[in-house]
């Protein structure tokens, strides 16, 4: 990990030009407040409007990079239809609308799902989220079951070399593919309108750290939302403060151009 990140207020927004920056944003904990039920989150209307303004003034260089499926992000950010890397990079929609995906071992995931569902049935409050290419075990309602949840996941994954475990905030995800958020950013940066631009990536969880590291070599701007060790260069205190900063960035771009 890098040293202590600077407060986000110290990032000179004037050094960013809308046609020279590519903006990549995580979703939960970054644009939306984290909720016990993943289906219960909401993005403030002002934030959706800020994203629309940024998309317009950057020439479309705004993308979401998330652990959620693309379809869910489209729902929460309606009427926007942004480029999105979903399920930690297993699926991706480019700015031109083209879709790409990483092959996954669905049979192995079915075995894991059966194992984890039995664990869930024995422990009220555990929630299993099924996605294309991954399964997430949420223990937000039962934080005292963190250790037991991790044990259940490792037991389920044991023997399946193609599965990867991602530990997040009170959630453990089992992914049946090798793609990461860093891979997704690199793929976007090879495509119009992102290519040749300075990447800015904001995220709140440990699953975002590989992307923070990846963009450091591209003079990238990395922003960690919330507390915890991080490789990011800047830190926003909360989701709310980051959303406010994003709105102010859109306003500054509009005033200066």
Q: Contact 200/220 with Cβ under 8 angstroms?
A: yes
The pairing of beta strand 62-65 with beta strand 84-86: parallel
Q: Which of 26, 28, 204, 208 is catalytic?
A: 26
Beta bridge partners of 6: 234
Among the listed residues 162, 166, 188, the one whose alpha carbon sits nearest the alpha carbon of residue 177: 162
Q: Which two tokens stand for residue 3?
A: 């040293």
Q: Contact 92/184 with Cβ under 8 angstroms?
A: yes
- Strands of 47-195 (E only): list them: 62-65, 84-86, 91-93, 99-101, 127-131, 134-138, 164-167, 171-175
d(CA 38, CA 128): 11
Three-point CA angle 36, 92, 80, nearest 5°: 70
The label of the residue with tokens 């995220």 reads 203
Beta bridge partners of 234: 6, 223
The number of helices, as runs of H, and strands, as runs of E, in the chain is: 7, 13
Q: Give the end-to-end CA distance of the chain in Å, rounded to a whole number.
A: 36
- Residue 26 known to be catalytic: yes
d(CA 70, CA 5): 30
Active site residues: 26
């Amino acid at each position: 990990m890098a040293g202590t990140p600077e407060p986000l207020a110290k990032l000179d927004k004037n050094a960013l030009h809308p046609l020279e920056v590519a903006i990549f944003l995580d979703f939960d904990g970054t644009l939306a407040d984290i909720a016990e039920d993943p289906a219960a989150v909401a993005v403030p209307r002002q934030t959706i409007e800020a994203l629309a303004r940024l998309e317009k003034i950057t020439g479309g260089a705004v993308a979401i990079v998330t652990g959620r499926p693309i379809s869910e992000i489209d729902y929460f950010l309606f009427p926007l239809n942004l480029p999105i890397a979903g399920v930690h990079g297993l699926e991706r929609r480019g700015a031109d609308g083209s879709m790409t995906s990483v092959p996954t071992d669905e049979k192995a995931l079915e075995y894991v799902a059966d194992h984890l569902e039995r664990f869930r049935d024995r422990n009220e409050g555990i929630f299993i989220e099924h996605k294309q290419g991954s399964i997430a075990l949420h223990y937000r309602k039962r934080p005292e079951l963190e250790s037991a949840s991790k044990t259940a996941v490792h037991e389920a994954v044991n023997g399946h070399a193609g599965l990867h475990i991602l530990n997040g905030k009170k959630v453990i995800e089992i992914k049946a593919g090798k793609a990461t958020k860093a891979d997704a950013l690199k793929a976007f940066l090879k495509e119009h309108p992102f290519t040749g631009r300075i990447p800015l990536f904001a995220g709140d969880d440990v699953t975002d750290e590989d992307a923070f590291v990846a963009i450091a070599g591209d003079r990238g701007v990395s922003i960690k939302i919330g507390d915890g060790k991080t490789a990011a260069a800047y830190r926003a205190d909360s989701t709310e403060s980051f959303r406010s900063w994003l709105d102010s960035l859109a306003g500054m771009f509009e005033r200066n151009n």
